[in-house]
Amino acid sequence: MRKITSKLYIALVFLFLYAPIFVLIAYSFNESKSRTVWTGFTFDWYVKLFNNEVILKSLANTLIIALIAAVVSTILGTLAAIGIYNMKKWLRTAIVNITYIPIMNSEMVTGVSLMLLFVALNIDLGYFTLILAHITFCVPYVILNVLPKLRQMNHNLYDAALDLGCNPIQAFRHVIVPEIMPGIVTGFLMSLTYSIDDFIISYFTTGANSQTLPITIYSMTRRKVSPEVNALSAIIFVVVLLILLIMNFKDIRDSAPKKRRKGGAA
Protein backbone atom coordinates (compact mmCIF):
# COMPACT_ATOMS: atom_id res chain seq x y z
CA MET A 1 0.00 0.00 0.00
CA ARG A 2 2.86 2.35 0.84
CA LYS A 3 4.47 1.74 -2.58
CA ILE A 4 1.21 2.47 -4.38
CA THR A 5 0.72 5.69 -2.38
CA SER A 6 4.26 6.91 -3.11
CA LYS A 7 3.89 6.16 -6.84
CA LEU A 8 0.52 7.91 -6.92
CA TYR A 9 2.04 10.93 -5.16
CA ILE A 10 4.92 11.09 -7.68
CA ALA A 11 2.45 10.76 -10.57
CA LEU A 12 0.36 13.65 -9.22
CA VAL A 13 3.47 15.82 -8.83
CA PHE A 14 4.55 15.17 -12.42
CA LEU A 15 0.98 15.77 -13.63
CA PHE A 16 0.93 19.11 -11.81
CA LEU A 17 4.29 20.07 -13.37
CA TYR A 18 3.67 18.97 -16.95
CA ALA A 19 -0.11 19.32 -17.44
CA PRO A 20 0.12 23.09 -18.22
CA ILE A 21 2.82 22.39 -20.83
CA PHE A 22 0.76 19.69 -22.52
CA VAL A 23 -2.30 21.97 -22.54
CA LEU A 24 -0.18 24.71 -24.12
CA ILE A 25 1.08 22.29 -26.79
CA ALA A 26 -2.44 21.04 -27.47
CA TYR A 27 -3.80 24.57 -27.97
CA SER A 28 -0.94 25.41 -30.33
CA PHE A 29 -2.89 23.22 -32.79
CA ASN A 30 -6.25 24.85 -32.03
CA GLU A 31 -7.87 26.50 -35.03
CA SER A 32 -9.27 29.27 -32.83
CA LYS A 33 -7.36 31.87 -30.81
CA SER A 34 -9.42 30.85 -27.80
CA ARG A 35 -7.57 29.31 -24.88
CA THR A 36 -10.69 27.55 -23.60
CA VAL A 37 -12.68 26.39 -26.64
CA TRP A 38 -11.36 23.78 -29.09
CA THR A 39 -12.66 24.47 -32.61
CA GLY A 40 -10.46 22.23 -34.78
CA PHE A 41 -6.97 20.98 -35.58
CA THR A 42 -4.57 23.14 -37.59
CA PHE A 43 -0.88 23.84 -38.24
CA ASP A 44 -1.58 27.47 -39.18
CA TRP A 45 -0.05 28.92 -36.01
CA TYR A 46 3.25 27.19 -36.76
CA VAL A 47 3.23 28.61 -40.28
CA LYS A 48 2.40 32.11 -38.97
CA LEU A 49 5.12 31.77 -36.33
CA PHE A 50 7.84 31.52 -38.98
CA ASN A 51 6.40 34.61 -40.68
CA ASN A 52 6.24 36.68 -37.47
CA GLU A 53 9.28 38.96 -37.61
CA VAL A 54 8.79 40.34 -34.09
CA ILE A 55 8.87 36.94 -32.39
CA LEU A 56 11.67 35.60 -34.59
CA LYS A 57 13.81 38.70 -33.99
CA SER A 58 13.22 38.44 -30.22
CA LEU A 59 14.12 34.74 -30.32
CA ALA A 60 17.32 35.51 -32.24
CA ASN A 61 18.21 38.26 -29.75
CA THR A 62 17.60 35.86 -26.85
CA LEU A 63 19.76 33.08 -28.29
CA ILE A 64 22.62 35.37 -29.37
CA ILE A 65 22.74 37.21 -26.04
CA ALA A 66 22.46 33.96 -24.06
CA LEU A 67 25.26 32.30 -26.05
CA ILE A 68 27.64 35.26 -25.74
CA ALA A 69 26.85 35.70 -22.04
CA ALA A 70 27.27 31.97 -21.34
CA VAL A 71 30.63 31.73 -23.14
CA VAL A 72 32.08 34.85 -21.50
CA SER A 73 30.66 33.87 -18.09
CA THR A 74 32.13 30.39 -18.37
CA ILE A 75 35.60 31.74 -19.14
CA LEU A 76 35.51 34.41 -16.42
CA GLY A 77 33.86 32.10 -13.87
CA THR A 78 36.35 29.28 -14.46
CA LEU A 79 39.35 31.58 -14.09
CA ALA A 80 37.78 33.18 -11.02
CA ALA A 81 37.12 29.77 -9.45
CA ILE A 82 40.76 28.76 -9.95
CA GLY A 83 41.90 32.04 -8.40
CA ILE A 84 39.52 31.66 -5.44
CA TYR A 85 40.62 28.05 -4.92
CA ASN A 86 44.26 29.14 -4.57
CA MET A 87 43.50 31.82 -1.97
CA LYS A 88 44.04 31.43 1.76
CA LYS A 89 41.23 29.61 3.52
CA TRP A 90 39.71 32.63 5.31
CA LEU A 91 39.82 34.77 2.19
CA ARG A 92 38.42 31.93 0.03
CA THR A 93 35.50 31.50 2.44
CA ALA A 94 34.77 35.23 2.39
CA ILE A 95 34.85 35.44 -1.42
CA VAL A 96 32.62 32.36 -1.81
CA ASN A 97 30.07 33.90 0.57
CA ILE A 98 30.16 37.13 -1.45
CA THR A 99 29.63 35.07 -4.61
CA TYR A 100 26.33 33.79 -3.17
CA ILE A 101 24.93 37.35 -2.89
CA PRO A 102 24.03 37.85 -6.61
CA ILE A 103 22.28 34.46 -6.60
CA MET A 104 20.28 35.07 -3.43
CA ASN A 105 19.67 38.76 -4.09
CA SER A 106 16.33 39.85 -5.57
CA GLU A 107 16.50 40.08 -9.36
CA MET A 108 14.58 43.35 -9.21
CA VAL A 109 17.29 44.89 -7.01
CA THR A 110 20.00 43.63 -9.37
CA GLY A 111 18.13 44.88 -12.44
CA VAL A 112 17.46 48.36 -11.04
CA SER A 113 21.04 48.65 -9.75
CA LEU A 114 22.51 47.77 -13.14
CA MET A 115 20.13 50.14 -14.91
CA LEU A 116 21.13 53.03 -12.61
CA LEU A 117 24.82 52.17 -13.11
CA PHE A 118 24.51 52.22 -16.90
CA VAL A 119 22.57 55.51 -16.78
CA ALA A 120 25.18 57.05 -14.45
CA LEU A 121 27.94 56.02 -16.88
CA ASN A 122 25.95 57.43 -19.85
CA ILE A 123 25.81 54.02 -21.52
CA ASP A 124 22.81 53.65 -23.83
CA LEU A 125 20.62 50.67 -22.97
CA GLY A 126 20.81 48.02 -25.67
CA TYR A 127 22.64 44.85 -26.64
CA PHE A 128 25.83 45.82 -24.81
CA THR A 129 24.15 46.56 -21.48
CA LEU A 130 21.96 43.46 -21.80
CA ILE A 131 24.98 41.21 -22.36
CA LEU A 132 26.86 42.82 -19.45
CA ALA A 133 23.85 42.32 -17.18
CA HIS A 134 23.52 38.65 -18.16
CA ILE A 135 27.24 38.05 -17.62
CA THR A 136 26.92 39.66 -14.18
CA PHE A 137 24.34 37.18 -12.89
CA CYS A 138 25.74 34.15 -14.76
CA VAL A 139 29.35 34.27 -13.48
CA PRO A 140 28.48 33.19 -9.89
CA TYR A 141 26.77 30.03 -11.18
CA VAL A 142 29.92 29.05 -13.07
CA ILE A 143 32.13 29.71 -10.02
CA LEU A 144 29.94 27.62 -7.74
CA ASN A 145 29.93 24.73 -10.24
CA VAL A 146 33.68 24.71 -10.92
CA LEU A 147 34.89 25.08 -7.31
CA PRO A 148 33.64 21.64 -6.15
CA LYS A 149 35.47 19.98 -9.06
CA LEU A 150 38.69 21.74 -8.05
CA ARG A 151 38.27 20.42 -4.51
CA GLN A 152 37.71 16.86 -5.79
CA MET A 153 40.77 16.97 -8.06
CA ASN A 154 43.99 15.19 -7.13
CA HIS A 155 46.29 18.07 -6.19
CA ASN A 156 49.42 16.18 -7.23
CA LEU A 157 48.42 15.90 -10.90
CA TYR A 158 49.49 19.44 -11.74
CA ASP A 159 52.89 19.05 -10.08
CA ALA A 160 53.37 15.68 -11.78
CA ALA A 161 52.66 17.26 -15.18
CA LEU A 162 55.28 19.94 -14.49
CA ASP A 163 57.81 17.29 -13.42
CA LEU A 164 57.17 15.39 -16.67
CA GLY A 165 58.10 18.40 -18.80
CA CYS A 166 54.89 20.40 -19.24
CA ASN A 167 55.01 24.14 -18.88
CA PRO A 168 52.29 25.75 -16.67
CA ILE A 169 49.99 26.48 -19.63
CA GLN A 170 50.26 22.93 -20.99
CA ALA A 171 49.68 21.48 -17.52
CA PHE A 172 46.60 23.66 -17.14
CA ARG A 173 45.19 22.70 -20.56
CA HIS A 174 45.91 18.97 -20.44
CA VAL A 175 45.54 18.23 -16.72
CA ILE A 176 43.44 20.83 -14.87
CA VAL A 177 40.83 21.55 -17.57
CA PRO A 178 39.90 17.87 -18.21
CA GLU A 179 39.52 17.30 -14.47
CA ILE A 180 37.15 20.24 -13.98
CA MET A 181 35.39 19.95 -17.35
CA PRO A 182 32.11 18.55 -15.90
CA GLY A 183 31.84 21.64 -13.69
CA ILE A 184 32.65 23.94 -16.62
CA VAL A 185 30.00 22.29 -18.83
CA THR A 186 27.41 22.44 -16.04
CA GLY A 187 28.20 26.11 -15.41
CA PHE A 188 27.90 26.87 -19.13
CA LEU A 189 24.53 25.10 -19.43
CA MET A 190 23.18 26.81 -16.32
CA SER A 191 24.33 30.20 -17.61
CA LEU A 192 22.73 29.53 -20.99
CA THR A 193 19.46 28.43 -19.37
CA TYR A 194 19.21 31.31 -16.90
CA SER A 195 20.10 33.82 -19.61
CA ILE A 196 17.38 32.52 -21.95
CA ASP A 197 14.81 32.49 -19.12
CA ASP A 198 15.65 35.85 -17.56
CA PHE A 199 12.97 38.52 -17.64
CA ILE A 200 13.32 40.94 -14.72
CA ILE A 201 16.99 41.94 -15.15
CA SER A 202 16.58 42.03 -18.94
CA TYR A 203 13.52 44.26 -18.58
CA PHE A 204 15.53 46.94 -16.73
CA THR A 205 18.65 46.80 -18.92
CA THR A 206 17.30 46.34 -22.44
CA GLY A 207 16.79 48.91 -25.18
CA ALA A 208 14.06 49.38 -27.77
CA ASN A 209 15.79 47.23 -30.41
CA SER A 210 17.27 44.53 -28.16
CA GLN A 211 14.20 42.99 -26.57
CA THR A 212 14.44 39.33 -25.64
CA LEU A 213 11.67 36.77 -26.09
CA PRO A 214 10.35 36.91 -22.47
CA ILE A 215 9.96 40.70 -22.75
CA THR A 216 8.20 40.40 -26.12
CA ILE A 217 5.77 37.82 -24.74
CA TYR A 218 5.12 39.99 -21.67
CA SER A 219 4.28 42.95 -23.92
CA MET A 220 1.69 40.75 -25.68
CA THR A 221 -0.14 40.07 -22.41
CA ARG A 222 -1.40 43.65 -22.38
CA ARG A 223 -3.56 42.69 -25.33
CA LYS A 224 -3.82 38.94 -25.92
CA VAL A 225 -1.07 36.35 -26.27
CA SER A 226 -1.07 34.98 -29.80
CA PRO A 227 -1.24 31.18 -30.28
CA GLU A 228 2.01 31.62 -32.21
CA VAL A 229 3.67 31.84 -28.77
CA ASN A 230 2.11 28.47 -27.93
CA ALA A 231 3.64 27.06 -31.10
CA LEU A 232 7.06 28.48 -30.26
CA SER A 233 6.86 27.11 -26.70
CA ALA A 234 5.93 23.68 -28.07
CA ILE A 235 8.95 23.72 -30.40
CA ILE A 236 11.30 24.74 -27.56
CA PHE A 237 9.90 21.98 -25.33
CA VAL A 238 10.38 19.33 -28.03
CA VAL A 239 13.95 20.51 -28.78
CA VAL A 240 14.91 20.40 -25.08
CA LEU A 241 13.31 16.97 -24.71
CA LEU A 242 15.23 15.63 -27.73
CA ILE A 243 18.52 17.00 -26.36
CA LEU A 244 17.90 15.30 -23.02
CA LEU A 245 17.00 12.00 -24.69
CA ILE A 246 20.13 12.13 -26.88
CA MET A 247 22.35 12.90 -23.87
CA ASN A 248 20.80 10.08 -21.82
CA PHE A 249 21.14 7.66 -24.73
CA LYS A 250 24.79 8.65 -25.13
CA ASP A 251 25.44 8.11 -21.40
CA ILE A 252 23.80 4.69 -21.53
CA ARG A 253 25.82 3.73 -24.62
CA ASP A 254 29.09 4.93 -23.06
CA SER A 255 28.43 3.13 -19.77
CA ALA A 256 27.56 -0.21 -21.45
CA PRO A 257 31.20 -1.15 -22.39
CA LYS A 258 32.34 -0.32 -18.83
CA LYS A 259 29.71 -2.66 -17.38
CA ARG A 260 30.75 -5.39 -19.80
CA ARG A 261 34.41 -4.96 -18.82
CA LYS A 262 33.52 -5.15 -15.15
CA GLY A 263 31.41 -8.26 -15.78
CA GLY A 264 34.26 -9.89 -17.70
CA ALA A 265 36.77 -9.04 -14.97
CA ALA A 266 34.50 -10.57 -12.36
Q: What does the domain layout of the chain look like in residue ranges? A: 1-50+227-245, 53-225
CA within 13 Å, CB half, 7: 4
Separation CA 71–CA 74 (nearest Å): 5
- Topology (CATH level 3) of domain 53-225: MetI-like fold (1.10.3720)
pLDDT at 140: 93
**For residue 155, what is the enclosing H or E element?**
none
DSSP letter at 175 equals I
| Tens of pLDDT, residues 100-158 | 888 888 889 999 999 999 999 999 988 999 999 999 999 999 999 999 998 888 878 88
| Section 65-71 average pLDDT | 95
pLDDT at residue 8 tops 80: yes
Q: Which of 104, 126, 105 has the alpha carbon at shortest distance from 115? A: 126
The one-letter code for the residue type at 204 is F
Residue 227 DSSP class? H
Looking at residue 264, its pLDDT comes to 56
The pLDDT score that the predictor gives to residue 65 is 94
Q: Give percent of the chain above pLDDT 90.
A: 30
CA atoms within 13 A on the CB side of 110: 20
pLDDT band at 262 (very low <50, low <70, confident <90, very high): low
- Tell me the pLDDT band of 175, cut-offs 50, 70 and 90: confident
Quick one: pLDDT at residue 265? 54
For the segment 244-260, what is each residue's pLDDT rounded down to a tens digit? Answer: 888 888 777 777 665 55
Determine the pLDDT at residue 62.
92
| Angular region, 206: left φ>0, alpha ψ -120 to 50, beta rest | beta
Q: pTM of whole model > 0.75?
A: yes
Q: Mean pLDDT of all residues in the chain?
A: 86
